[in-house]
Amino acid sequence: MNLDNKKIVTTENKSVLSSNETVFHYSQSDKTIIEKYKGGSILEGLIIGKQTKVWIRKSFSKGKSTLIKV
């Protein structure tokens, strides 16, 4: 799955600081993924990672997210 130029918002999450006002914006170049996020009580955040063949199937949060069009 390529995450380049995808945006995700949290629609329900009671266990962390993100809310439906927090937008997670992804960019991807080859296997490098950058996630920038802000909104709600979060001023700004950044995560840089590498895509691998291993995907975590069990979520540790009890929230829900929605993919939105850019």
Q: What value does the CA radius of gyration of the chain take, rounded to a whole number of Å?
A: 12
Strand order in the sheet with 23-29: 42-50, 32-39, 23-29, 6-12, 64-68
Residue of 52 and 40 predicted with greater confidence: 40
User: pLDDT tens digits for 12-24?
Assistant: 766 677 788 889 9
The predicted pLDDT at position 33 comes to 92
Kindly state the average pLDDT of the residues 40-68: 71
Categorize the per-residue pLDDT at 68 as very low, low, confident or very high, splitting at 50, 70 and 90. Answer: low
pLDDT tops 90 at residue 51: no
State both tokens at 48: 């840089």
Domain map of the chain by residue range? 6-68
